[in-house]
Amino acid sequence: MFKYISKLIILTLLLFIFVSFFDARILTTKFIEVSQINDPKPIVIFVVILSLLNIFIRPILKLLTLPFTCMTLGLFTLVINLIIVMGAEYFVDGFKFTGIWQAFIFSIAFSILSNFIDFILKEDKKN
């Protein structure tokens, strides 16, 4: 339980930094539109809903799309990640991606970060 809560806190902080970085218009592309950048509420709700969808909906989607995943040698998992991210976006007011490609890139980056955090938290338990 501690691992799950600490992972949610870390992912929320990383997402807040990510949104702040892109909202500062350092890059010309705006990936995410948050209603108020100083209000962390939409970001926290997005991360919680995303984690709940990953816990409950993702296994069902993986089971239903197993033939596609096998035919594409696992690349269809990227589509499942996109569906989960777009589903979480749908449920959160004030948190919108500017396009589907931005959501796709975000889903890949968020998946990599999530796996990295899992790896770090597992390493801490072994020592």
SS in 3 state form for 79-91? HHHHHHHHHHHHH
Q: What is the rounded radius of gyration, in angstroms, for the C-alpha atoms of the chain?
A: 15
Interior angle at CA 51, CA 25 and CA 35, nearest 5: 35
Whether 81 maps to a domain, the answer reads yes
125 confidence band (pLDDT: 50, 70, 90): low
Q: How confident is the model over 84-111, as a mean pLDDT?
A: 89
* Neighbouring residues of 79: CB distance < 8 A, sequence distance ≥ 6: 65
Total count of domains within the chain: 1
pLDDT for position 99? 84
If residue 96 lies in a helix (H) or strand (E), which one and from where to where? strand 95-97
For residues 28-46, give the mean pLDDT.
72
Q: Is residue 127 part of a domain?
A: no
Domain of 76, in residue numbers: 2-121
How many degrees, rounded to 5, is the angle at CA 106 between CA 15 and CA 19?
A: 35
- The mean pLDDT value for 12-23 works out to 78
> CA 31, CA 46: separation in Å to the nearest integer?
15
Q: Using a cut of 0.75, tell me whether the model's pTM lies above it.
A: yes
Q: How confident is the model at residue 36 (pLDDT cuts 50, 70, 90)?
A: low
